[in-house]
Amino acid sequence: MTAPRHFLTLMDLSPDEVRGLIDRAIELKSQHRAGAATPTLDGKVLAMIFTKASTRTRVSFEAGMAQLGGSALFLSGQDTQLGRGEPIHDSARVISSMVDMVMIRTFAHADVEQFAAHSSVPVINGLTDDYHPCQILADLQTYFEVRGDISGRKVCWLGDGNNVCHSWMNAARLLDFELVIACPEGYDPDETLLEACRRHAHIERDPLVAALDADLLLTDVWASMGQEQEQEERAASLQPYQLNQALLKRAAPDALYMHCLPAHRGEEISAELMDAPDTVIWQEAENRLHAQKALMELLLKT
Ligand code: CP
Ligand code: NVA
């Protein structure tokens, strides 16, 4: 039996595979809209393990499997024996013996790595404290659809150096663009990852400098899942990094801006930008569906 192909971070794909996946996602999107999808995942079953909340990730994986002829199981942390302390490696062995693929959203990235190491089928990271690679596939698809290839562009991250930021750092080195990370001291992304990405990503404390001539501005909540009790202190430190019209004016004239959602209007992003008629944020959210269908096809080589 060949070893399963996992997707735990973007670095599990080559640059050519990322570009091929985006092309396929765009094709799947137009087929879906035309009512002409082919059931490439006919009879396949995806188990989805969630120990954190979700709207987009759950709906997109579940709908995506159904649309491609397969099905998805929702397993909440509390309701399975995992929640009662059954070891991850035992759970991985059992669950993967019954399904074709597993998606996990949880806290520790090491838990997803451990599950993958003991799984006989592909494992997809649906968000950990450290990475959110599925989100960036959808974000990249959106950029490619609207502006073309992102290689050589300037991208600016605003706010907390969190899991979504880490996945954008990986994207920068895979697809060869510049990522300027605007965050205050104490909110830096992981130091080891920053060192690994140093040719493509760097920190700039001044958001007005960071946003200058950027082709794409990005942000995310200031307190991620699991950090809710730090909300007030984080909001006080991160306030100058709000994505708003003033910062957008500093960027390139045709700059796009994105947010993975859910958003807090008036905190990390202004209500005005969230509600702008020409924002690509809703397209970005929808693309989770299409990008992940292409990902599942790739992992199962259908
Ligand atoms: N962006 C994202 O992953 O959304 P959910 O938390 O709703 O899945
Ligand atoms: N950084 C956020 C992303 C939510 C999709 C979190 O981890 O809660």
Is 228 inside any structural domain? Answer: yes
CB 290 within 8 A of CB 37: no
φ/ψ of 182, rounded to 5, equals -100, 110
Question: CB atoms < 10 A from the CB of 293, how many?
Answer: 27
Tell me whether residue 4 is in a domain.
no
Residues 128, 139 within the same domain: no
Mutate to test the pocket of ligand 1, among 48, 50, 55 (most ligand atoms within 8 A of CB): 55
How big is the chain, counted in residues? 302
Is the shortest distance between the CB of 57 and ligand 1 below 6 Å?
A: yes
Would you say residue 199 lies in a domain?
yes
Domain count, the chain: 2
Compute the distance from residue 48 Cα to the ligand 1 centre, in Å. 14
CA 276 to centroid of ligand 2, rounded, Å: 23
The string of pLDDT tens digits covering residues 55-113 is 999 999 999 999 999 999 999 988 899 999 999 999 999 999 999 999 999 999 999 99
Give the CA distances from residue 124 to residues 9, 44, 157, in Å, rounded to whole numbers and listed in that order: 9, 15, 24
| Atom number in ligand 2 closest to CA 129 | 7
Q: How far apart are CA 140 and CA 138, in angstroms?
A: 5
Q: What is the pLDDT of residues 174-189, one digit of tens each?
A: 999 999 999 999 999 9
> Residues 81, 180: one domain?
no
Please tell me the number of the ligand nearest to residue 128's CA. 2
Is residue 1 one of the residues assigned to a domain?
Answer: no
Residue 220 CB neighbours (<10 A): 25
In this structure, the answer to whether residues 182 and 117 fall within a common structural domain is no
The secondary structure of the chain in percent helix, strand, coil, rounded to multiples of 5, reads 45, 15, 40
Q: Is 280 in the same domain as 139?
A: yes
| 143 and 159 co-located in one domain | yes
Q: How far is the CA of 128 from the centre of ligand 2 (A)?
A: 9
Q: Are residues 155 and 261 in the same domain?
A: yes
Asked if residue 267 is part of any domain, the answer here is yes
In this structure, the answer to whether residues 233 and 119 fall within a common structural domain is no
Whether residue 302 has pLDDT greater than 80: no
Residue 105 in any domain: the answer is yes
3-state secondary structure string across 196-237: HCCCCEEECCCHHHHCCCCCEEEECCCCCCCCHHHHHHHHHH
Pair 61, 158 in one domain: no
Does the beta carbon of 56 lie inside 6 Å of ligand 1? yes
Q: Are residues 219 and 154 part of one domain?
A: yes
Per-residue pLDDT tens over the stretch 32-58? 999 998 999 999 999 999 999 999 999
Q: Can you tell me whether residue 75 is helix, strand or coil? A: strand
174 and 66 within one domain: no
Q: Phi, psi (5° rounding) for residue 213?
A: 60, 20
Sign of CA dihedral 95, 290, 158, 199: positive
Burial 152-182 (b: 16+ CB within 10 A, else e): ebbbbbbbbbbbbbbbbbbbbbbbebbbbbb
Closest Cα partner for 139 from 11, 244, 254, 280?
280
Residues 174, 242 within the same domain? yes
Cα distances (Å, whole numbers) of residue 100 to 43, 85, 106: 9, 24, 20
The pLDDT tens digits of the residues spanning 111-155 come to 999 999 999 999 999 999 999 999 999 999 999 999 999 999 999
Average pLDDT, the chain: 97
In a domain, 2, yes or no: no
Same domain, yes or no: 256 and 297: no
- Indicate if ligand 1 lies below 6 Å from the C-beta of 59: no
- Its domain, for residue 235, covers 135-284
Q: With the CA atoms of 24, 29, 33 and 35 taken in that order, what torsion angle do they form, in degrees rounded to the nearest 10?
A: 40
- Give me the CATH number covering residue 211: 3.40.50.1370
